[in-house]
Each structure stands twice: as C-alpha cells, then as structure tokens.
Amino acid sequence: MARRRLQGFSLIELVIGLSVLGLLAAVAAPYLSNGARAYNNTHAALYTVNNLRYTSERIARELRAIDNSGGVFAIATPVNTAGDSITFTKTDGVTVSLSAAPPLLQISYDTLPGGVFTLADQLSSLSFSYYRSDGLPASTTADVAYIEFEVVLDNGNRYAQRGRVALRNRS
C-alpha cells in the first residue's frame, strides 16, 4: 500500500476557501461601515450638545451680572422687541455684547484688547426676549425682570435650548 504525502491544500480547496472568505467579508462589510457611521454621527451630536450646553450656561452667567445701580438695568439694546443680539454693562463696569452672525455666536468685552471671542461655531439662530415680573413683555429697561434666550445649533440636525434668567440686583 503506497502512502501519499500531504503537503498542503489542493487548488480546489484554496478556491473554495477564498470564495467562502469573500462571501463572509461581503456580508460583514456593511455592518462594520454602519458601526463607524453611527460612531461619527454620535460624536458630532455630542460635540454639538456639549457646545450648546456651554453656550447657554455662559450666556446665563453673563446676563445674571447686568448692572442695576440706577434702578434701571444697564441694557443698551432695545427691550421692546425680540432680537438676536444684546449689549449691556455688568456690575464691574465691563460692557458686554453678545451677537449672532450665523454660524458664529460671538461675545465681546470692551476692556480686553481684541476682546471678541467665539462661543459657538454652529449657530443657526439666537433670540432674546424681555419680560416683566408678571410675565408680560417688557417695554422699557426699567420693566425688565427676566430675559429669555434661545440658542439653536445645527450640525445637520438642529439642537435648541432655551433659558430664562431672572435679573439680579433689582432695587
């Protein structure tokens, strides 16, 4: 009985093995691609939501510091209509401006050289509304008790956040 030496795979076995491997790769590729796309979309959404949270908190912090030393809040922007920018003086005498020029939301300080900083780079819209303590729209800066703002950021999806700030230092 003659014994045959086994030294590897035959050509037919290699072709069948490569065909099965190619079929498995063709089935698995869309799943891997979808996973990578989902990761990228989630990362972009988290970046935008984090930026929205930071922007809203920063706006609220700045608005809480509006000066009221003369019985009237030091708001230079007209308060009888809603707008997309606001200029005011803080209790430390610094004049602050928040202005929207989509896609940028910028904040500027009069005391800092080159004091214009970008708060958000995905801005879709920004609005400020002014209210009296009874909830009705304010007509003068002496009537303002609350400032309501809405920030909308867009990275392909729109993310909005509203805030209402009760002004301090009311006389």
Look at residue 5 in the predicted model and tell me its pLDDT: 67
Look at residue 120 in the predicted model and tell me its pLDDT: 94
Residue 79's nearest CA partner among 115, 33, 128 is 128
pLDDT(170) > 90: no
List helix spans (H) across the chain.
11-64
**pLDDT per position as a tens digit, 18-40:** 999 999 999 888 888 888 899 99
Look at residue 60 in the predicted model and tell me its pLDDT: 96
Look at residue 6 in the predicted model and tell me its pLDDT: 67
Q: Please compute the mean of the pLDDT values over residues 102-116 and round it to a whole number.
A: 91
Pairing relationship of beta strands 146-154 and 158-166 according to DSSP bridges:
antiparallel
**pLDDT per position as a tens digit, 38-62:** 999 999 999 999 999 999 999 999 9
131 versus 70: the higher-pLDDT residue is 131
Residue 166 backbone dihedrals phi, psi, to 5 degrees: -85, 125
Element containing residue 68 per DSSP (H, E): none
Look at residue 114 in the predicted model and tell me its pLDDT: 82
Q: How confident is the model at residue 153 (pLDDT cuts 50, 70, 90)?
A: very high
The mean of the pLDDT values for the chain is 90
CB proximity list for 68: less than 8 A, separation 6 or greater: 74, 167, 168, 169, 170, 171
Look at residue 28 in the predicted model and tell me its pLDDT: 87
Dihedral sign (CA 48, 87, 162, 92): positive
**How close are the terminal C-alpha atoms of the chain, in Å?**
112
**pLDDT per position as a tens digit, 111-140:** 888 889 999 999 999 999 999 999 999 998
